[in-house]
Structures are given as C-alpha cells and as structure tokens.
Structure 1
C-alpha cells in the first residue's frame, strides 16, 4: 500500500516538473532509489536537461549520485554488476543528453529568429537612410536649379515693374503679377525643400502650412489676370472643411485653371463649389479657346493623375474629360473621415488630353495635337475592378 501511494505521488510530482524543475528532479531521483521508478526518473531528467540553464553541472551531480549509490551497494555487501552500472548510467545520462539536445535545438532556432529580426531592422534602417539621402539630393537639385531660376524671374519682374513705372501701367501691373506669382512659387518651393531635407539631428522638418480653400478667390483672380474669363459660384463655407479636403479643393482648382490657361487661353471658365453637410462638390468647366494655345508651357502629363490619387485617398471621386469643345473636371469628396478601402473601382483612361476615350481607344482630337500622350480623362466607377 505504501509503495502504491509513493508511486502515485511520484506521478503527481511530474505535473509540476516545469515549475520546480530541480527540486522535483531530486525528489524523483530519491523515489527511484527507494521504489525503482525508471519512467518517472527518465521524464524528470529529460525535463531538467531541456529547461535547466546549467545542465552540465547538474549532469555531474546526477552522475556523482549514481556513483555513490553503486558504491553504497558495494559497501553494503553487494556484488559489482557491470550491466547494472551501465543501466544506471544510461538511465541518468541518456534523458539528460536528449533534453540538452532538444534545448540546444530550441536555443539555436530562437537565436536564428533574433538574427533574422536584427537583419530586417538593419535593412529597414538602410532603406530609410537611402530615402533620406535621395530626398536630400532632390532638395539640393531643386534649390540649385529651380529656386535659382524662379528667383531670377522674380528679380527681372521687379526690375520690369520699376522700369515701366507710370509710363505703361499695364506692363507694370503684369510685371507685378509675375513677381507676386514668382514669390509665391518660391515660398511653396522652400516649404517643400524643408520637408525633403532632414535637420542635423536626422529628423525630417515639420510640414509647412498648406494652402486651404480660403485662397480659392486668389486663384480665380490670378486666372483672370492670366486672360481667362473665370467665374466662381460658391455655396457654403469652405473654410470650415477638414484641412485635407481644403487642400484637395485648392489643388484641383489650381490644376484645372492651369490646364485651361494652357490649352484654352481666353476661354470662359465656370467654377461651382457646393459644401453640403456630408459632401463637398467642385465642378470646373472651361469652354473653347479664344486664342492660340500656349505651346511653350511645359507639362508632365501627371497633374490629373495626382489629383485622382489625392481624391482616392480621401474616399472621393475625380471625373475629368472632354465636354463639347471644352473640358470638365468634377471633384466629389466626403466631409467625414473616409471608410477603409473596400475595393471600389477606379478606372483611369490615358489618351490625348483632348480626345474622346472609348474602351481605352483614343478617338478624334477635340482641340488638335497640343501635346503627345498626356492624361485625357480620369473616371471612377464603383462597379469596375480597381487597377
């Protein structure tokens, strides 16, 4: 009865072997010496070998204990049994070695994962440093080339305004407008350079204040001075809109008026802005040109694409394309925070800037060959796959 109770106690001890590994191991060894429980001993020693940090010292202790037990048996008058000694040694050393091998394999796997994580962090840091270096290089080039030339334009316009004086008032006013636009371009360029260039501590400069919808009237006045017959109709208060929505409205109107001045100089331009409780809608429609297009103005053909991406990020729609002999741009944005992207469709049609687009095939030109292969129309359909 006593043997059965002690054997059951040995089994219960194994349940707590991971919490008190060494103590339970010694108790199981003691029970093995008294009751001969090889299975419990093997499990306990395996657990010790796989979890105890100083395994070799523990192995030496157990080996010494085995030698002492055999020596005690001989001292009490027992005969030397080589097979018994080998069995005892294998019973003690075997589970310890197996547990040590398992622990070593586990430690190697953990070390490999740690090394992989370290390499990934180093790669991220290298990529980020490369981006910072590239941004700094771009900022230097923009400062050395673009800012330098725009600064010269401002100085020449100021000199022209002073030279014209009261003799030719129109020339003086035009020179003042050129100077004003040039200074504005320099201010925005410096703000962009500040974002691109990190400070000496390696941190990127904070974003400069962005334009907002309160400056839409300034855009319309500039367009009128550029020769467009622009008319702005506004419902609601755009100044109360979220900052990102105001910036999108400003940039969309700016790009639309720039394209109208480039491709349809002297045209009538109708601008409607409606600010509702949940959405804001901007529509810009220009008519046909009343003069020759400004072919000398360069274009990258990416303006409307950038506006489409901006609208998509805000959860809105941008629709742009020919209308009659003119061009139409519509921007629809939600005022509330946009919902997560649900895979709603975006279809972008690329063709001549003033051509019809039917199933991706450009048709007849509406305004002639002004420029090769820029953006003609950007449309968004909720039922089409996103490109």
Structure 2
C-alpha cells in the first residue's frame, strides 16, 4: 500500500472516531431506530473520504447533504425524546466536514465553484443553531472547522505548484545548457571539418584536368555546402534559449525542389503522386530544409519497408504554416531483409526532434489500409540564433 493510501486510511479512521464521539455528544438521544439511522449516515460520511482524492467536490457535496440531514434529524425528524434540546452553543456539523474542505482545496480543480459545497455546509450549520443560541456564537467555530482546513489546503497546494514550477524551470535551464553545449561541439568539430572538405573539393574542382574528377569534386562541394547550411540551421536552433521563435521578418525562400526526391523514388519502382494545395509561399530556410528531410525520410522508408506500394505526396500552404503529408499504400512485395533492418527507426526519431526544435509537429502511424502515413506541420517562419540580424 502506497503512502497516499495509508494517509487515506488514517483520515477515514480519524473521521470515524470523531463521528463516534460526536454521536454521543452533539446529537440528542433518539428513539430507535432513528439513532442508528443518523449514526450510520454520519459514519458513511467518514467512509466517503476514501474517495476525496479522485472526487473531492462530489464528496464535499455528499457531506453538505449529511449536514442538512443532521439538522433535520435534530429539529424535524420524529423520534427525539420529549424535552430533548441541543446545547445552546452546539454546532451541528459532520465530523468529516473539515477533511472534505481540505480535500477540495488540495485535490479540486482550483475553480471557485469547488467552494460552493463548503459554503452550503457553513450555511446549513448556521441554520441549525438552537433557538437559545446566537448565530454569532456558532459561526466562528463553523468557519474555523470548514474555512481553516480549506485555507490550509490551498496554501499547501500553492506551495506544491510553486515547487513544481521551479523544478520545471530548473529542468528547462538544464536542457538549454545541454543544447548550447551540443551546439558548440557541432560548430567546433563538424562544421570545421565539413568546411575543410568543401574547400578541398573546390580546389580540386579548379585544378584537376580530369573531367570526371572535376564533376565529382563539384558534386562533393555542392553536397558539402548543403550540409553546412543544414548544420548552420541546427547550430542556430540548438543555441537558442528555448524553442525557435516564430518570426515574420526572418529570411524567406521557396521550398526546396522535391521533384528530385520524387524522381529518385520512381527510379526504383515507387510511383509518387504529388499534389500542392494553396499558393506556394516563401518560408524560412530552416523550415524548407526540414520539409525536404521529412519527404526524403518518408520516401526512403517506403523504399525500404514497402516495395511495390504507391505514394501520395501532398504539400499544403496555410496562412502561417506548411503541412506535408506522405501516405503510401500497402506493400505488394517483400523488402530486402538487410536493408529493412538498417536504421532501426532512428530516422523518424531524429526527424521528430528536429521538427520539434522549430515548434513543429510530426505524426507517423500505420493506416487501416495496411499502408503508412507521415504528416508534418511546420510554422512558415522561424528565426534561430543569428538569423535575420
């Protein structure tokens, strides 16, 4: 049994003990079977506290009903011994009421309406004041027994929420520091080495007389420049203090040409139907390259895992967002086992993290027709550190 359940057992037992004491001191003597009925209902109120964590407000309303029943039992029900009167300073209040008030403050939804059953309990207790008593004498103890636990519970809840916020802020600061450390490593190691590779490829392109070597060097240089651009995006996003900022003033460019990826898939027997919805708009470079990677990863996975399927690629331009959808039908062939086992799903995981860095969303899931679907929602404009300055 967990600590919370042990506390709940203790609360129920304590409320039951106080109820038994109150039955002997607070309620006048009743003729049978009214004494058993009243006592049984009040003990039921104590037992209801077992649900105070899951349903604090319904438990409080139940206690309010018991308070009304207690007043009715003393002043309206038949069965009281003739001449029996409550003490002038007595308070008709179920023993479970303070516990219910505390539970509402701690475990409730935090709405003002949650306090309504507590106000009803106080009002009923004041209405049940004996004729010889003054409400001013009774209202103080009632407010203390109901309002005191509620105030204490609210204070403890606020303190717990403050500690939770501080913990989240501390964790977020730790994540930012780790991201900045990774950005520094990427910049110092990877970017430097890729830059050297690009320079060497450029020198080879200019100096070699072999045409095939010149062509290969040019392609290597272009690939290296593209990798540097993507590394610059990644370093900027990792260096930012938190997620990428949406910015309408960031650099803008058209989406990269996706036809190269489409032609590559079709060359290995994967037909791709493309569709564009909306007017093509300019987007941030980081967004455009991320869209390219989404389509590239999705089509690569189709080639590996779904040979013989057909693919539908759709790009939607929304007012402040770009949505990319890649859906493939069920495969008709069996993929190469060695090719299928390569990667282990790390591509989609890395892609998801990259998309989250620019405040986007990725959804990848199987479809009812046996195919697979990848959907990505990306903001049109983001600004990483150093961009747009």
TM range, smaller chain? 0.3 to 0.5
**TM-score, normalised with respect to structure 1:** 0.41
**Higher percent of residues as strand:** 1
